[in-house]
């Protein structure tokens, strides 16, 4: 009896693991397709991003940076934070 329950649990676990791996694989394929289709927006300049920073709109600056470079949220935030530090260092 105990072996039957163990077999059922192992089978269920394998089924769930396979399902989750399939979903993850589909999501990764979708991400790869969308990244290939993305093209950088070179019309956005550093000056535009800095203007958003100086206006106190850091989130908009991050959005512009991401649109221009296609980077992830973390990378864009780090880049904008570096711009903020550079702007503050240059201020009197």
- Let me know whether 29 and 55 are in one domain: no
- Let me know whether 57 and 72 are in one domain: yes
- Let me know whether 90 and 46 are in one domain: yes
- Let me know whether 30 and 75 are in one domain: no
Say how many domains are in the chain: 2
pLDDT digits (tens, 9 = 90+) for 35-49: 666 677 788 899 999
- Name the more confident of 45 and 3: 45
Structural domain that includes position 47: 41-92
pLDDT digits (tens, 9 = 90+) for 56-85: 999 999 999 998 988 889 999 999 999 999
- Let me know whether 55 and 83 are in one domain: yes
Give me the DSSP letters along the chain.
Answer: -HHHHHHHHHHHHHHHHHHHHHHHHHHHHHHHHHHHH----TT--HHHHHHHHHTT-HHHHHHHHHHHH---HHHHHHHHHHHHHHHHHH--
């Amino acid at each position: 009896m105990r072996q039957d329950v163990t077999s059922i649990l192992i089978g269920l676990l394998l089924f769930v693991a396979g399902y989750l791996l399939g979903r993850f694989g589909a999501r990764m394929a979708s991400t790869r397709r969308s990244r290939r289709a993305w093209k950088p927006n070179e019309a956005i300049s550093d000056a535009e991003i800095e203007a958003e920073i100086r206006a106190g709109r850091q989130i908009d600056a991050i959005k512009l940076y991401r649109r221009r470079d296609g980077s992830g949220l973390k990378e864009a935030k780090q880049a904008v934070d570096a711009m903020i530090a550079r702007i503050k260092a240059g201020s009197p």
